[in-house]
Structure 1
Amino acid sequence: MTLTPAPDDTLAQLKAGKLQGATQLKLSHQLTQFPQQIFELADTLEILDLSGNALTDLPSDLHRLKKLRILFCSNNQFTHLPEVLGQCENLSMIGFKANQITHIPEGAIPTRTLRWFIVTDNALGAVPHALGECSKLQKLMLAGNQLRSLPASMANCHALELLRISANQFETLPDFLFDLPKLTWLAYAGNPFCNAIEQALISQHHMQHIDWHTLTLQQILGEGASGVTYQALMQQNNAQELVAVKLFKSGLTSDGLPRCEMHANVLAGEHPNLVGVKGVIHNHPQGVSGLVMPLLDADLKVLARPPSYESCSRDVYADDCRLTPQQVQFILKGITQAAEHLHANGLMHGDLYAHNILRSDEKVVLSDLGGASFLPLDNPELTQNILKLEARALDILAEELAAVVSSSSDSSMQG
């Protein structure tokens, strides 16, 4: 029996030459230099994760890793995207979240192969025109930068399906976005052009503040990129109630600002097919932002898993996931009604995916408003263009669910 090395042993194993043949490697050791021993894996290494170190650059011959498909260098100290990335002939996914990147050289983009590009939470004032040459680009994560515009060349990104530009400096949405044939999931909250819209909408609602000291956290219910959700006991008016509490990890999530997510939940209000919200946390000792929500029934199960590295923009359904036509119709009806309720309240969900849907035989719930954006209701034409994206997301969901209808029911589904 071969024991998998503990994480702390990985660097030692690498230096001892004991990782020959590895296809994946993760190193997080406060590295300041790229370990040259990684090149000994050049014939096999496909996924390299160097997140959580203190790196500022990568070697100029990184392209020697001929099979490298996926590279993560998040939470390091890069101030630029290394130009060598553009020479990596198989690199399809690049993640440099939470660095201090101010500049991306035109040559740093592997235009022939790039599918998924993450530079969330940096200091970018511009992105390169070369992105417009990325014919395979499907997901682009730019939230939490200083962008005021996108290059006009990106009108050629005909494969782009998911775009995150929240928490930037946009004064308007780029016109070409609505001509992109596959754009489906868009998040843009926390920009100057929609901050006034957000404030106007939220000013019409009472936001319930719930004192932190009335909450007793219990077990973790789930964890995502933006925060951790706990079961908790809430004490109010001499009564106790079990609730769900989401605590945000930082001032910026993968999709945008915690403030925007909290406001979106308040605006969404109550609906049978939404999670709902009881209030926002007040008086947390460390100033952490958080939401208090109703505790959902334990029998509600997530419809699918989030996209994999391979599927990129499509959720992954369990191999044994089978639904009847009636179940599919029940899910689609509930999610459509939830989306229409959000739209009527000035919101686009922006992340309408099966992995954000919880279901049982009696109930279906659309969750996670982290990617929600505020609709410019005073501009009906723009609002309609934005909502066409959400309609496309619903169409994709319907296609996916049709694909998991049990074969014995296919004929009735078609009828």
Structure 2
Amino acid sequence: MEDIQIIEDLSNQINRKLKQVRKVNWLIKGYQLNDLGQVTHLNIAKCNLKGHWPPALFKLKHLEFLDIQENRLESIPESISGLETVTCLDIRNNELKELPGQMAELPHLIKLYLGNNAFTVVPEIIGECKRLELIDFTDNMLTGGLEHILNSNSITNVYLRNNQLKELPFHLIQDHQLKELNIMENAIESIPDDMAAVEKLWI
């Protein structure tokens, strides 16, 4: 099925006409095509999905960027594994508490934005995402599970601002492992004086 036909099906499923735009970002809704007429970027934020992931979405076999913010999503379906080419997922401002194991089956996932959801613990699957470099848990309710981030061989940018963290396993951070670490607005009681292993640290 051609991507344009899939977009038409997707528009019907979300009850909103999707428009082709020159550049998709966090502010502009619609879809972007490459030179082959394949959908590579899609923004369906604030589409009143009421927790429902439209099936047509998972037929987009060339999708690289997906913004699906503010849709009252409570879970991520196993069919997320079908988005094999996605590099950036923005699922902020929803109602997620956990991630499916299929997240580790996304071979090209580099950036994962999960801010302003309902996570209380960092899911173990985070450490199994082989190419993940950026993870954002800003504005959640995290109290633990940070070892799953710090045990990763690929994650370099970590955003944990405004959670409920009282401690962080700093001893797991390897030299030159992290480019950025934001732990502002938490209740972390003890932070080592020497944090040279982190290039940019916000506390």
- Which band: TM-score by shorter chain? 0.7 to 0.9
Q: Residues 110, 21 of structure 1: CA spacing in aligned structure 2 closer, same or farther, 3 A cutoff? A: farther
Q: Residues of 1 paired with 2:144 and 2:85: CA distance?
A: 30
Match of 1:184? 199
Match of 2:57? 38
Of the three residues 158, 172, 190, the one matched with 2:176 is 158
TM-score, normalised with respect to structure 1: 0.39
Contact kept in structure 2, 1:148 and 1:170, CA below 8 Å: yes
Matched, 1:71 2:89: yes
Q: Report the count of equivalent residues.
A: 174
Query: How far apart are 1:86 and its partner, in Å?
Result: 2.4
Q: Residues of 2 paired with 1:127 and 1:25: CA distance?
A: 31
Query: How far apart are 1:35 and its partner, in Å?
Result: 1.1
Match of 1:129? 147
Of the three residues 124, 135, 139, the one matched with 1:106 is 124
Match of 2:138? 120
Contact kept in structure 2, 1:131 and 1:153, CA below 8 Å: no
Q: Give the number of the structure whose residues are more often helix, by fraction.
A: 1
Q: Residues of 1 paired with 2:175 and 2:74: CA distance?
A: 30
Match of 1:53? 71
Q: Residues 158, 80 of structure 1: CA spacing in aligned structure 2 closer, same or farther, 3 A cutoff? A: same
Which consecutive unaligned segments of at least 5 residues does structure 1 have? 189-415
Match of 1:142? 160
**Pair member with larger Rg:** 1
Q: Residues of 2 paired with 1:45 and 1:153: CA distance?
A: 38
Residue 168 of structure 1 aligns to a residue in which SS? Answer: coil
Residues 4-403 of structure 1 mapped to structure 2, 5 A cutoff: 11=14, 12=16, 21-28=38-45, 29-31=47-49, 32-42=51-61, 44-152=62-170, 154-156=172-174, 158-174=176-192, 178-180=195-197, 183-188=198-203
Q: Residues of 1 paired with 2:170 and 2:200: CA distance?
A: 20
Residue 158 of structure 2 aligns to a residue in which SS? Answer: strand
Q: Residues 158, 83 of structure 1: CA spacing in aligned structure 2 closer, same or farther, 3 A cutoff? A: farther
Q: Residues of 2 paired with 1:51 and 1:167: CA distance?
A: 23
Contact kept in structure 1, 2:76 and 2:99, CA below 8 Å: no
Q: Residues of 2 paired with 1:165 and 1:144: CA distance?
A: 7
Q: Residues of 1 paired with 2:140 and 2:124: CA distance?
A: 17
Which consecutive unaligned segments of at least 5 residues does structure 2 have? 1-6, 19-30
Match of 1:332? none
Contact kept in structure 2, 1:134 and 1:157, CA below 8 Å: no
Q: Residues of 1 paired with 2:188 and 2:63: CA distance?
A: 39
Q: Residues of 2 paired with 1:107 and 1:150: CA distance?
A: 18
Query: How far apart are 1:13 and its partner, in Å?
Result: 5.0
Q: Residues 128, 185 of structure 1: CA spacing in aligned structure 2 closer, same or farther, 3 A cutoff? A: closer
Report the RMSD for the aligned CA atoms in angstroms: 2.6
Q: Residues 104, 84 of structure 1: CA spacing in aligned structure 2 closer, same or farther, 3 A cutoff? A: farther
Contact kept in structure 2, 1:89 and 1:110, CA below 8 Å: no
Q: Residues 153, 105 of structure 1: CA spacing in aligned structure 2 closer, same or farther, 3 A cutoff? A: farther
Letter of the 1:37 counterpart? A
Contact kept in structure 2, 1:128 and 1:151, CA below 8 Å: yes
Query: How far apart are 1:171 and its partner, in Å?
Result: 0.6
TM-score, normalised with respect to structure 2: 0.75
Q: Residues 36, 66 of structure 1: CA spacing in aligned structure 2 closer, same or farther, 3 A cutoff? A: same
Q: Residues 46, 147 of structure 1: CA spacing in aligned structure 2 closer, same or farther, 3 A cutoff? A: same
Q: Residues of 2 paired with 1:111 and 1:27: CA distance?
A: 24
Contact kept in structure 1, 2:117 and 2:140, CA below 8 Å: yes
Match of 2:25? none
- More deviation, 159-168/109-118: 109-118
Q: Residues 37, 13 of structure 1: CA spacing in aligned structure 2 closer, same or farther, 3 A cutoff? A: farther
Residue 185 of structure 1 aligns to a residue in which SS? Answer: strand
Query: How far apart are 1:153 and its partner, in Å?
Result: 6.2
Contact kept in structure 1, 2:99 and 2:123, CA below 8 Å: yes
Query: How far apart are 1:111 and its partner, in Å?
Result: 3.9
Letter of the 1:27 counterpart? I
Residue 114 of structure 1 aligns to a residue in which SS? Answer: coil
Residue 137 of structure 1 aligns to a residue in which SS? Answer: coil
Calculate percent identity across the aligned residue pairs: 26
